[in-house]
Amino acid sequence: MSDVLVKVGNEELTREDLNEFLSSMPPEYAQQLASLGEEVMVDEMVNQHLLYLDAKNKGLEDSPAYKAEMEKLGKEVLKGMAINEVLQEAEPTEEQTKSYFEANQDRFQKPEQVAASHILVDSEEKAKEIKEKLDAGESFSELAAEHSSCPSKENGGALGLFERGRMVPEFEEVAFDLGVGEISDPVQTQFGYHIIQVDNKLPAGNQSLEEALPQVMQELRRENQQKVYAEYMEELREKYSVEK
């Protein structure tokens, strides 16, 4: 199947041209265009291409204003290429990453976490009926699948692990107070009435290097970049003799 979306004169504009056109825009504007559908996106690409052809036809690329803008743009591109080349040296090594983590381990903590399941219904009466069934030994996951209005019903009501601040306060307070395996009485929140079962608890503690690696790499990379940039600027000042 042809990838050509539209012809402008003798030129064919393809889907690749459209993707390149969208990527050249500010993300917010590209998203706005995309939300209006492909026809609108193609029309706008055509509009911009027509403006380009008209400017070329008028010889605007030979104008002093165009040459001045291109010179400024060229400077920015070259500066960006120069600094990117230098900052490649700032990528943390495996040995540096490990040393940094061990020296700053007290900063890489994981909070207390709870794994819980719940059954969400719209009335206290219904919640009490379900709690009675649970007390009588019926399966939590089966009752969640049958009665809960939360999408978690597809997983037997399981919400997975969460830390403090992730859930609404009323839910969170009960979940963190319960012991593993315990089931709450009905808990009212803005979403309805919950019956909560705590499936597991993980205490607060130190993260492993694997868990902390994204944060370690981010911090190290920033530190290294600042150091490399400062050293490089000092070299350039000496090389090109900056005087005040």
Same domain? 194 vs 139? yes
Give the start-end residues of each E strand in the chain: 4-8, 11-14, 109-110, 113-121, 158-163, 187-189, 192-202, 205-206
How far are the Cα atoms of 8, 9, 12 from residue 48, in angstroms, in the given order? 11, 14, 14
* Within a domain: 192: yes
User: Is the domain of 54 the same as that of 103?
Assistant: no
Give percent of the chain above pLDDT 90: 80
Instruction: Answer whether residue 9 is part of any domain.
Output: yes
* Predicted pLDDT at 34: 87
Q: What is the pLDDT of residue 2?
A: 59
Is 51 part of any domain?
yes
What pLDDT is stored for residue 1 in this prediction?
Answer: 44
Count of structural domains, the chain: 3
Residue 244 has pLDDT above 80, yes or no: no
Same domain flag for 105 and 221: yes
Q: For residue 39, is it within any domain?
A: yes
Q: Specify if 76 maps to a domain.
A: yes
191 shares a domain with 117: yes
Residues 58 and 135 in one domain: no
Element (H, E) at 34: helix 27-35
Structural domain contains residue 220: yes
pLDDT band at residue 119 using 50, 70 and 90 as cut-offs = very high
* Percent of residues, the chain, with pLDDT higher than 70: 99
Rg (CA), the chain: 30
For residue 181, the enclosing domain spans 112-203
Q: Is residue 208 part of a domain?
A: no
